[in-house]
Amino acid sequence: MYVELHAHSAYSFLDGASLPEELAARAAELGYEALALTDHDGLYGSLEFAHAAKAFGVRPITGAEVTLADGSHVTLLVESANGYANLCRLLTAAHAGTRPKEGAEVLPPSLDATLLSELNEGLVCLSGCARHGLGIRNPNGAATLARAFGRERFLVELQRPYERGDERRNAHLRDLAQALGVGTVVTGDVHAHNHRRTPLQDVLVAIRQRTSLDGCEAERRGNHESVLVAPAAAEDRFPLDRDAVERAGELAGRLEFDLTEDLGYRYPDFSDTGEPAIRQLGRVCDGAFAERYGEANGRKRKARRRLDEELKLID
């Protein structure tokens, strides 16, 4: 069954018009088994979404739509804990340098595609959205990432927002997938959980563009098709791409990473001898404690109790 692998919440600032919980609840109402949240250049709402989705009986898939240095977009989906770590590293790199000193212009996130090629383990890469996708804007760049990820973890994304040029664009993307030897996958580029929320989405885009609704007509999703719809309705949009529809569900089945359970932390062992790290940390703290507090007194006894409590907690 079809699974939506490309959806934005309000954490895609001034673009997504629904809260993560609303997307999760609506997905459950529509009968989705799983749903991916792929906000712009961040994982801001991912944990909130993961908890909400599980509460509603929907399996959450973690991901992000990432902006590359050339301005094109790719959709990254997490397959494993290692993939999540790599996605965090990539997003950190994309935001590096975007907050300059006071008075300077704030820069948008931007990721070097070479770094994405290097830190690809545990991630699945889709070729991006209909408007700014790498497959449309830079087919050669898509070919480079396809080689880095391999045919099982790079897929060409097909969308149908019912805008002029849909058929021509998707025909081009099918040809690209065939040339690269990879599969296609259908996504919806969801920006609202319900049609009632689409007027707000228009207003958010107008605010982002700092203009009126009429002034941002080209940027708005004026046909209001970027809404979470039932799996069967999504399938009906792609009569020529049934395999790409089915592949969305198949891919979702591989994306088993669970943000609420798969991030267990184990204190590392930094020694060559196998001595527990907590014992090493205790020695370091004892030495610093003796240097700082010196002779026995009431303050020293209180500090010692506090240090012992902290070491116990860490252990």
Average pLDDT over residues 151-166: 94
Each residue of 126-146: pLDDT tens digit? 999 999 999 999 999 999 999
CA torsion sign, 40 to 61 to 235 to 180? positive
Per-residue model confidence (pLDDT) at position 265: 64
Query: Which residues make Cβ contacts (< 8 Å) with residue 23, sequence separation at least 6?
Result: 7, 9, 35, 37, 49, 190, 193, 228
**Is 20-254 in CATH node 3.50.50.60?**
no
pLDDT above 90 (res 276): no
Cβ neighbours around 290 below 10 Å, total: 10
Pull the structure tokens for residue 91.
Answer: 């997003």
User: pLDDT per residue over 246-260, tens digit each?
Assistant: 999 999 999 999 999
Domain boundaries of the chain, sorted by first residue:
20-254, 277-314
Smallest CA-to-CA distance from 45 within 5, 66, 74, 16 is with: 16
Distance set, CA 183 to CA 5, 83, 153, 240, 258 (Å): 15, 21, 9, 14, 25
Percent of the chain with pLDDT over 90: 78
The reported pTM is 0.83
Are 77 and 108 spatial neighbours (Cβ–Cβ below 8 Å)?
no
Q: Average pLDDT of the chain?
A: 93
CA separation for the pair 24, 182 (Å, rounded): 30
Q: Above pLDDT 70, what percent of the chain?
A: 97
